[in-house]
Amino acid sequence: MKNVDNLVESAAKLAGRGLSRGEIADELNVSRETASWLVERSGAESEPAPADRGTSPQDIHIDWSAIGCDSSRLTSVGEAMADLIATDDREVGMTVGIEKAGVPLATVIARELDTDIAAYGPAKHQWEEGDIDENGGGFSQNFAPVDDQNCYIIDDIVTSGTTMRETIAAVREQGGTPVGCVVLADKQGVEEIDGVPVSSLINVVSVAPEE
């Protein structure tokens, strides 16, 4: 993907497949607001978009499909992410991958750090318009439970921090203790979320002149 037109086209195709705005945001590595704007601009809306939605949101698109499409590259990146936290001297028994993109990365990291693995599906996957139902997310029963475990939380991109914050809260509600978050790229430059340190391979900084 090289430009906005490509993103608009991709958003239209994803909307045509019935994906929610949250799922589209997840697939394109953009914010929910940007996902809505892209779908509206594509003409995939069933109703006319409100007039105040014509302005492009301030966001940064990160395309890491060249990594995700190749198992060797994905493994190498996962190993590098694991290396970011390998010096942690705490006993950590669980790696939590945030669906969808965080799970394959978490699989590599769990292998490298010799932990069990859990998978969390965030509420944004059910989001269309309005506020997210904060009770909409949940842990997959096909993976390990997080209770009584120190946990690393893994995702591909931090955009606004909402999904990471939700996952941290969910781990705590299940009796686990989040001790670190690791992402491929951080759009916000955050050092911690809700008291949990955040490590990233790439920090993305938007530079704009002062007005």
Looking at residue 46, its pLDDT comes to: 40
Identify the residue whose tokens are 């997840």. 26
Q: In the 3-class helix/strand/coil scheme, how is 156-194 assigned residue by residue?
A: EEECCCHHHHHHHHHHHHCCCEEEEEEEEEECCCCCEEC
Q: Would you place residue 61 in the very low, low, confident or very high pLDDT band (cuts 50, 70, 90)?
A: confident
Q: Would you place residue 128 in the very low, low, confident or very high pLDDT band (cuts 50, 70, 90)?
A: low
Quote the mean pLDDT of the chain.
Answer: 84
Identify the residue whose tokens are 């978490």. 106
Token pair recorded at residue 78: 């996962």
Q: Which has the minimum average pLDDT: 6-10, 123-127, 141-145, 151-155? A: 123-127
CB-CB contact of 139 with 174 (8 Å): yes
Is 0.85 topped by the overall pTM?
A: no
Q: Name every residue whose Cβ is closer than 8 Å to that of residue 42 and which is 6 or more positions away in sequence.
A: 8, 9, 11, 12, 15
Q: Which has the minimum average pLDDT: 31-35, 102-106, 128-132? A: 128-132
The residue with greater pLDDT, 211 or 207, is 207
Looking at residue 1, its pLDDT comes to: 46
Share of the chain above pLDDT 90, in %: 52
Give residue-wise pLDDT tens across range 47-58: 444 444 455 567
- How far is CA 52 from each of CA 5, 39, 48, 104, 193, rounded to the nearest angstrom? 20, 15, 12, 38, 31
Looking at residue 202, its pLDDT comes to: 92
Looking at residue 17, its pLDDT comes to: 84
Give residue-wise pLDDT tens across range 73-103: 999 999 999 999 988 888 999 999 999 899 9
Q: What is the dihedral of CA 170, 172, 175, 181, to 10 degrees?
A: 90
**How far apart (Å, rounded) are the C-alpha atoms in residues 152 and 34?**
28
Quick one: 49 exposed, middle or buried, by C-beta within 10 A (0-12, 13-18, 19+)?
middle
**How far apart (Å, rounded) are the C-alpha atoms in residues 94 and 194?**
19
Looking at residue 49, its pLDDT comes to: 43
Give residue-wise pLDDT tens across range 161-176: 989 999 999 999 999 9
3 state SS of 98: strand
Identify the residue whose tokens are 């010799």. 114
CB-CB contact of 81 with 97 (8 Å): no
Looking at residue 175, its pLDDT comes to: 97
Residue 148: pLDDT above 90?
A: yes
